[in-house]
Structure 1
Amino acid sequence: MKVVVLDDWNQVWESAEPIKRLRERAEVVVYTDAAGSEDETAGRLAGATVVVANRERTRFTKSLFERTSELRLIAQTGTGIAHIDAPAATERGIAIATTPGGSTASVAELTIGLMIAVFRQLGANDAAMHRGEWPMPVTRQLGGKTLGLVGLGSIGSATAKIARAMDMKLLATGFSLTPERAVTQGAKAVSLDELMGESDVVSIHLRLSEKSRGLISAERLSRMKSSAILVNTARGAIVDEPALVEALRSGRIAGAGLDVFVTEPLPENNPFRELPTVVMTPHIGWITEEAYDAFVTNSVKNITTFMDGEPTNVKFPEALRR
């Protein structure tokens, strides 16, 4: 059996102990650079039964599946599968196995870190200190502020836990969130519009889907307090980016902490780069040693259980019956 690992940009997989053990049972090929085209991706997957998808760095389309006849399993790191044509995969008998929970703590920590960075102007103060200055700005604390969580799944809940320890008040909304579920996390369930209007910090924790794409629109941004900030460690396309740029430029909202963007890597001329009230990180919420350890270990487990005929964490089990 051939296993192909795509997009190992951080060069973690090749030397990982679980991969060394997997090589006792299968041929494993690791690619540390991005394929330049679907043709190149198809070439890399030639003869592969399993592909490891590092996050959402490669799109898996119907046309790609038609060119990879031996493929039977996509071992996905994390749980996001917006980059995979899941119906097409299922139709061709290609299972998708995910690794839930691996980056929950890492993303939640960065989420809180971005809130602090924006409220306390850490980026500007650090840059000034490196220039030899001694700035003394009056900033704000998070304690006592209202945090609005757009999504209360595993990462939203982990963020809520940290925020409670900081004495923040919690509001939450979600497509399937119930008041009872919100209460278990110390939050009050409200509508999205109410959350946008009442929160001092709006933090996004939804999966990217057709329902969530563009959810944070210009109209919803206009509901925010002028002193409020937006934090996004979920997916860039959930936010109307041009509308957010305009809200920041005009001072309609006070700032933003962004780890994700519609286009990644972020183009050099992206307007976010020019805005002093924006703190940005290059989609590193999940990139920690601990998260990678979990992703590699759990992905290899999903591969070996698949090889043993007892697949685990499969999103659409009907694919296994084709």
Structure 2
Amino acid sequence: MSEPIVFVARDLPFDAGHWQRLEEAIGSDRMLLVDTRDPAAVSAALEKAEVAILSGDLDDRHIAAANLKWVHCDHAGLTKSARPEVFERGLVVTGSAGRSGPALAEHVLMFSLMLCSRYPDFYEAQKRHEWRRTPEMMDLRALYGRTIGILGMGHTGVALASRAKAFNMRVLGYRRRDLPPPPGVDRMYSADRNETIDEILAEADILALVLNLSDATYRMIGREQIARMKRSAIIVNLSRGGVIDQDAMIEALKDGRLAGAGLDVTSPEPLPADHPLWDTPNVLITPHFTAALPDKVDRSVDVIVENFRRYRTGEAMLNRMTKEDLWTRDA
């Protein structure tokens, strides 16, 4: 195939070394470095480009670009790009999922450790200069021996499984594809085998949500699913707010039918100051922010460079969006 012309957004967070790697992979004479704040420059570049590398999601301009065949969005969640017209158009869309997998896995464990130890209570006592020991503390249990259910066995789920196993936890996993379980998973369930998440819900002490938001996963955890969970169970959500029926979760937390929730994502975002979730008992909230890995950008460039090679040779591409990722609810 002929060498493609590539639209590259100037606002990608790359340093000189990253740009050099991209130029070596694509060819400096084939790269159109575009200021995405300039509509005229975007339009002119999209008339020529076969490939676009963006810092954010695609939009109507990319869908309408006649010569465009592949768009790479340099972030993990592709929900906003999974529009019906993208699939109708046959546009290939990939993302940079996996670049923060280890950090996201750590974030799940941070929430789990804090909630299982009821650390917020100890911290409040510390601020009061109070050496607080109560009979209820005898009921606290370490992560050792607990069961974690991981919904979504992509990059973050795999990283989480191995780290949970290092805590000597029992690990249950769920994903779409019927593939061999990754290291650390004791029992794998899959949609391909027509298996549900019911057994995971019943057995999990910690339910970790690390899957993409799509029409298929919207409100995957609702009243019925929460009712199947232990009263002592904790939900940790690093997916998207829409994966949970948030009102049902709040009710369960207030009624003591769930022990706690660690949320890095909410619906809406940012969470309004007067939203009841702020004051719901046993809830920890972080503002859709996870500490970065030192090689996060390197990992992004690795995916782009490898996918460019695969695109040229016709191989299956990493992190390719599929029709199962379809999202129509914002349409």
One fold, TM greater than 0.5? yes
Show the counterpart of 2:141: 140
Distance in 2 of aligned mates of 1:53 and 1:215:
30
How far apart are 1:20 and its partner, in Å? 4.7
- For the structure 1 residues 316 and 261, does the alpha-carbon distance in structure 2 shift closer, same or farther, using more than 3 Å as the test? closer
Q: Given the alignment of the two structures, is residue 81 of structure 1 paired with residue 86 of structure 2, yes or no?
A: no
Q: Counterparts of 2:184 and 2:129 in 1: how far apart (Å)?
A: 48
Give the 5 Å matches for 1:64-75.
Answer: 64-65=61-62, 68=65, 71-75=68-72
Cα distance, 1:143 vs structure 2: 0.9
Give the deviation of 1:213 after TM superposition: 1.2
- Aligned pairs for 1:205-220 (under 5 A) are 205-220=210-225
Q: Does 1:110 align with 2:107?
A: yes
SS at 2:71's partner residue? Answer: strand
Secondary structure at the aligned position of 2:150 is classed as strand
Deviation by residue 1:250-269 (Cα, 9 ceiling, x = unmatched):
22101011112232233323
Correspondence for 2:293: 288
- Which one of 254, 259, 276 corresponds to residue 254 of structure 1? 259
What residue number does 1:96 align with?
A: 93
1:269 maps to 2:274: yes
TM-score, normalised relative to structure 1 = 0.76
TM-score (norm 2): 0.74
Q: What one-letter code is carried by the residue in structure 1 that aligns with 2:187?
A: A
The Cα RMSD (Å) is 3.4
Determine helix, strand or coil for the equivalent of 2:98: coil
Query: Whole-Å Cα distance in 2 between the matches of residues 184 and 122 of structure 1?
Result: 27
Distance 1:311 1:118, change over 3 A: farther
Task: Return 5+ residue gaps in structure 1 as ranges.
Answer: 32-39, 318-322
Contact 2:35 2:41 survives alignment (8 Å): no
Q: How many residue pairs align between the two structures?
A: 297
Match of 2:126 in 1: 129
Distance in 2 separating the partners of 1:232 and 1:147:
13
CA contact (8 A) 1:150 1:173 kept: yes
Which residues in structure 2 correspond to 1:136-215 (within 5 Å)? Answer: 136=133, 138=137, 139-177=140-178, 181=181, 185-187=185-187, 189=189, 191-215=196-220
Residues 69 and 176 of structure 1, relative CA distance in 2, 3 Å threshold: closer
Q: Which amino acid aligns with 1:152?
A: M
Structure-2 change in CA distance of 1:112 and 1:82 (3 Å): same
8 A Cα contact 1:109 1:159, kept in partner: yes
Deviation at 1:96, TM superposition (A): 2.0
- Paired with 1:142 and 1:53, the residues of 2 have a C-alpha distance of 40
Kindly state the Cα deviation for residue 91 of structure 1 after the two structures are TM-superposed.
5.0
Q: Aligned to 1:220, what secondary structure does the other structure show?
A: helix
Distance 1:149 1:95, change over 3 A: closer
Please state whether the residue corresponding to 2:79 is helix, strand or coil: coil
Q: Distance in 1 between matches of 2:38 and 2:272?
A: 23
Partner of 1:240: 245
Distance in 1 of aligned mates of 2:181 and 2:54 = 32
Kept in 2: contact 1:256–1:279 (CA 8 A): yes
Identity of aligned residues (%): 28
